[in-house]
Amino acid sequence: MDNHSYTFSQRANRLNSSVIREILKLTERPDMISFAGGLPAPYTFPVEALQSACASLFQDHAHASLQYGPTEGQMELREWIAQRHGTTASRVLMTTGSQQGLDLLGKVFIDPGSKILVETPTYLGALQAFTLYEPSYSSIPSDDFGLLPQELTPELADGARFIYTIPNFQNPTGRRIPLNRRHELVAQAKELGILLVEDDPYGELSYSGDHLPSLHSLNPDDVIYLGSFSKILAPGLRLGYIIAPEAIHLKLVQAKQATDLHTPSFTQRIAYEALRSGLLDSHLPIIRQRYSAQCQAMLEALARHMPDGIHWSRPEGGMFIWLELPEDMDAEDLLQKAVAHSVAFVPGAPFYASSPHRNTMRLAFVTVPPERIEQGISVLGQLIRDQLSIGYKTGSF
């Protein structure tokens, strides 16, 4: 049967491949210097620890780890997580990556037209997950330190199902919400009776190792927390979790059961085996140190090669720098030119739920060796200069 004769659901018909995705396919070329991918660096994967966890699992619990398990997840791992977050295992649901957590939240909270509040900009993958359930988005104005609590007005919050935020080293901007603003945000959300969804895959990647309290720790009954092992162990394990008050937890479990019965017993047990021996105590400092050096290499290259008038974030953790071009310059045009010079990044527009800023872009710095960072940023700097001088000559700014 020819593709055109299938009758897809209306939901499936709304899915489409973006122009950017098509351009980024080119970035798989080996000569490409790609700041585009959002992947953690493979050199941080704790291969030996996972290998010995795997061996002892097969030694001691082979059959249990190959059998179906409970939808909520493996109890020892849930207890380990609960202890780290000062909560009880009865609130922890293991998910197949935190991306599945986003999908489950969409399933249980979003009807067509439901209002959802998001940061400006926000994680593209969350927009993709929620959009399948047809919400109407409202963007909360944000600055270099994340969303602005005073902008969370009663009108904006009216009827909204939840606020989605990434307080630590946000994807895509790298910014972190400061302590006082966390308190204000949690208090304001409580006052307005609106749920907060806190997505936190990067919280452990603070370069100095410091921690700010999670929104969840400030108000566990009105904040849903999404965690992930993708950036601190390995994304191929597909392990994430949701911490939620019991009534929400129960709904999420029901939705997950229908989705995939449970997250693989096998990877949950491997992770637990590795974690219970204290792996993170030795492993996290290694990731932080490496990522901090990578970030520094990119910040120094930007300072060397970018012309005046270009602004970028200076993250204190995580994997991304956010760059703002002059207002009239379109990052998608720049990407076309950059790819022709074997350099890639992700234009910022798709990270906005509404009113995209087309002059923005995300630079991922953890997978590219420092000398290639230098080379790639120098190419981008030159292309921007060229563009600026054309604009200047033609008066097109």
Please give the residue ranges that form the binding site for ligand PMP (CB under 6 A): 38, 97-99, 123, 125, 166, 171, 199, 201, 228, 230, 235, 240
Query: Both tokens of residue 363?
Result: 């630079």
Q: 46 or 235: whose CB is closer to ligand PMP?
A: 235
Minimal distance, residue 124 CB to ligand PMP, in Å: 9
Q: 97 or 135: whose CB is closer to ligand PMP?
A: 97
CA distance 203 to 232: 10
- DSSP E strand stretches across the chain: 33-34, 92-95, 115-119, 136-140, 142-143, 146-147, 160-165, 195-199, 223-228, 240-243, 311-312, 320-324, 343-344, 346-347, 360-364
Q: 74 or 171: whose CB is closer to ligand PMP?
A: 171
Q: Nearest Cα to 338, choosing from 394, 294, 384?
A: 384
Q: 347 or 374: whose CB is closer to ligand PMP?
A: 347
Minimal distance, residue 228 CB to ligand PMP, in Å: 3
Minimal distance, residue 335 CB to ligand PMP, in Å: 19
Element (H, E) at 307: none
Q: 73 or 97: whose CB is closer to ligand PMP?
A: 97
Minimal distance, residue 249 CB to ligand PMP, in Å: 18
Residues 6+ apart with CB under 8 A from 247: none
Minimal distance, residue 360 CB to ligand PMP, in Å: 17
Q: 33 or 124: whose CB is closer to ligand PMP?
A: 124
Q: 171 or 360: whose CB is closer to ligand PMP?
A: 171
- CA 28 vs CA 130, 171, 344, 350: distances in Å: 28, 21, 10, 21
Burial class for 208, CB neighbours closer than 10 Å (0-12, 13-18, 19+): exposed
Burial class for 319, CB neighbours closer than 10 Å (0-12, 13-18, 19+): buried
Minimal distance, residue 240 CB to ligand PMP, in Å: 4
Residue type, 104: L
Q: 262 or 305: whose CB is closer to ligand PMP?
A: 262
> Which residue has its beta carbon closest to ligand PMP?
97
Q: 344 or 383: whose CB is closer to ligand PMP?
A: 344
CA distance 331 to 222: 38
Half-sphere exposure of 61 (CA within 13 A, CB side): 17
363 touches 371 (CB < 8 A): no
167 touches 214 (CB < 8 A): yes
128 touches 272 (CB < 8 A): no
Minimal distance, residue 185 CB to ligand PMP, in Å: 17
Minimal distance, residue 233 CB to ligand PMP, in Å: 10
Give the residues across from 344 on adjacent strands: 34
